[in-house]
Structure 1
């Protein structure tokens, strides 16, 4: 098989070739490894290569699952593979090896996927870009001067560049949907409780986080949802599953839907004209498909949502940094300066203030519930602007020098009320103000690659559904995919693949 033939198939298609004996898993793995060698010097998507493990997995009997024998990459955050480190984008955790698989990884191994590496992520998944002190910048295959988003940026870059057809991802504030939008992929965040984050984690970030994947086809994500969603007996709670496999959603159109849309930032921050065009174009497409689409938005204070989200997020980063220091023996100064700042602010959050912020999540959940009593889905941009340039959100070099001694003095409370923190929060969320609501409320949401800018950069559109609407979202995504196919739309190879002499 040639690379162009490999790339012409999604994961389900490659699995069908394996099942029919037309290609061996070891052949597919070699194609994936060769592609990684060709493009990773440019895009920097793979943080850990597990080639020998991949070869061992490729030599197993393929099994009869729909993705058996297909090459696959894990996200280097939460998705533990026994015997290997899960760095979380940090240097110190690269020396700490997992003692067992995470439940998601157990499901992927049981499904016959050939896991051969892990993908880059910002430190602790805390940014909408993928740039770290340890691993450097991960780049967007559509334009290597721009970010593939975060925090599943490495997975998005790897899929968009053709290393694998689908890759592991997770979403705590948009970390599946944002990279999907930046790289022309499909990304679905499942609702709270459908996919387990165990066994190390129960309900991370008060239930805001969901494991998942990034893919080039809707059916790949649907099949992955079937693989990932068996109930976890040790999980914090169990939610109802559909009566039919998620894969069947792509074979039947959705009922006619009533969809409310908005392209105004809930934070009141600017929204690029391309994001506005993306939503307006999607609205016209949906109307042509027979759906009712009209301007509408949940009655929610978006600025307070951002504050309450970041209050919980910074407290979580403080706890993660403390844990990472304990298990690695490293001091806080070995971590990225942005992580140190967020952790310092998080340590300054009092227990009552944290609980008050989390209690207001209920207000937003009920407001979104009222919206969904009238509208089946909420349509927004996924991104407020095209993918950011590499370094655009980087902490200034002067701050990198001045902040460490201040942090040692315990100035978290002062920082939390400073213009610097407000600027940091705005910089982290202003480009992606639409995605956090689905995490806070635990609702399923997806980014669909419906729009490219005039200069050829991808920009997705987001759909947020009520609880239990994953099947409906997949139906709509498949309908859009049929009406406006994106699978064969790939980045230009120029500037993406280095000559063999330079590898």
Structure 2
């Protein structure tokens, strides 16, 4: 992350932007958008997290200046509805403390964290920041104040990130859009009539709109990859167990859910995963941490890639999504990789039936714990109708059904492991349809209507939550309507380094950084 700028004045340096030294590794320059011209630090949106950290490290910017730039954009871009709970004063206090410590002294002692002072935000779902509320997008949790920090939050803070908000999520992350009775609708920065995806839609919308260069996200069925695809960003769901989920529970939804980030640059994702991966007390089964930063500097050669186009549910795939994945296949071939059509034979019916059992049971467990804390029962009017229905069904599930669900997931993992003995990666669409209109996937509608749209959202993504394999969405295509359509790659268990190496290669070959939505253009 070294840079060279001796003799440049502060404002000259900022105008030169990330074209200098470490900030230029992926060409992330300080291009100023029209939307940012009247905001504090108009160059801010041209920098990724690493470039901002580099400017802070050099003393060209202070943590408070960078934070105020993020807050200003959050305030002026409220229409996208990405922020659920602001923690602005908490973050300002942290930024002032960083400045008061003295940059020169911290550098002398070698104690400056790699991302010191960079603004960041957490998804408002299943993560704890002590002394603050995490609502899970649900009215029943609107006053749920955390009495501890999640292990992941401790690692984010150790990396130097300054957490300034919680970002919107649908209730319990149970759908592929980000809409809730509690927080309203989060819009897609590319077109406000469309969904930003879910359940990490607030995270994707905030990054796409230029509020943040990177944001925390989680994925229990596609909830990192779907919003990354819908918003033209990069998103990687890591292998089961790689990123800590504790300390209270060491697996989310018995292994379905994983935490990571959504970013604009691949290198931000590589660094953030490098800094947060690895076991925590209680971890028993997890892949070995990888050398992810080194991986993005080594373009992969001759990968064997299986192309999967058929919808696991047999319902077809929209032409826009096929165009996207076929274009990605051609690019991979041009880069020297081998791509060939293939098919997967998975126990789809058992897998998705088990997913319904597992997610509903996980939700019921959270509700029971909240009931105990409040000393009262949950009420129907405190939940979205579809989730209330799932909660009632969960009360009747048996231990045998839960065990069968996990057995189906394990069987899928075994089949995919054997498939990966023949291929390095799997390439597929992220979703079976382009971004939906707002309302199509809302949890506040008749169940029969919801299911018709939901089956198009996650047939390709959820299988890798069930199997535990890592998978990513790469933004390489926009349809005729100007909406982003991502392509998904999945890798063997613990194969994050291969995914990131290919993503960096694709980013170099077909850069997406200058494609910015109206909210940030």
Query: TM over 0.5, yes or no?
Result: yes
| Map of 1:204 onto structure 2 | 252
CA gap 1:17/1:370 in 2 versus in 1, 3 angstroms: same
1:89 aligns with 2:137: yes
1:313 aligns with 2:351: no
| Map of 2:29 onto structure 1 | none
| Map of 2:149 onto structure 1 | 101
| Map of 1:123 onto structure 2 | 171
State which of 485, 491, 498 in structure 2 corresponds to 1:459: 485
Distance 2:470 2:397 in 1: 29
| Map of 1:416 onto structure 2 | none
What is the deviation of 1:360?
1.5
Distance 1:137 1:220 in 2: 28
Contact 2:431 2:456 in 1 (8 A): no
Quick check: 431-440 or 211-220, which moved more? 431-440
| Map of 1:253 onto structure 2 | 299
Task: Give structure 1 regions of 4+ aligned residues with deviation exceeding 6 angstroms.
Answer: none
Residues 201-259 of structure 1: CA deviation (Å, up to 9, x unaligned): 211212121110000000000000111113212334343123x3x11211111131000
Contact 1:180 1:187 in 2 (8 A): yes
1:25 aligns with 2:63: yes
Contact 1:87 1:94 in 2 (8 A): yes
Contact 1:146 1:387 in 2 (8 A): yes
Q: Unaligned regions of 5+ residues in structure 2, if any?
A: 1-13, 15-39, 104-110
Distance 2:286 2:419 in 1: 25
Contact 1:121 1:154 in 2 (8 A): yes
| Map of 2:494 onto structure 1 | 468
| Map of 2:338 onto structure 1 | 292
Contact 1:249 1:475 in 2 (8 A): yes
Contact 1:268 1:303 in 2 (8 A): no
Contact 2:440 2:453 in 1 (8 A): no
| Map of 1:188 onto structure 2 | 236
Distance 2:252 2:57 in 1: 37
Quick check: 24-33 or 52-61, which moved more? 52-61
Q: RMSD between aligned alpha carbons? A: 1.7
Distance 1:460 1:322 in 2: 37
Quick check: 165-174 or 298-307, which moved more? 298-307
State which of 312, 326, 348 in structure 2 corresponds to 1:280: 326
What is the deviation of 1:474?
0.3
Give the length in aligned residue pairs.
470
Contact 1:92 1:330 in 2 (8 A): no
Distance 2:308 2:226 in 1: 17
Distance 1:455 1:50 in 2: 36
Q: Unaligned regions of 5+ residues in structure 1, if any?
A: 400-419, 498-503
Report matched runs for 1:34-433 at 5 Å: 34-40=72-78, 42-61=79-98, 64-242=112-290, 244=291, 246-328=292-374, 329=376, 331-333=378-380, 334-394=382-442, 399=446, 420=447, 424-433=450-459
Contact 1:96 1:327 in 2 (8 A): no
Distance 1:110 1:136 in 2: 33
What is the deviation of 1:171?
0.8
Contact 1:11 1:166 in 2 (8 A): yes
Distance 2:443 2:128 in 1: 29
Contact 2:385 2:444 in 1 (8 A): no
Distance 2:436 2:369 in 1: 31
What is the deviation of 1:57?
1.4
Equivalent position SS for 2:296? helix
Equivalent position SS for 1:476? helix
Distance 1:278 1:161 in 2: 23
1:450 aligns with 2:485: no
CA gap 1:438/1:165 in 2 versus in 1, 3 angstroms: same
Residues 249-297 of structure 1: CA deviation (Å, up to 9, x unaligned): 1111113100001221101123110011111101000000000001013
Quick check: 304-313 or 69-78, which moved more? 304-313
TM-score by length of 2: 0.87
Distance 1:234 1:357 in 2: 23
Distance 2:152 2:443 in 1: 33
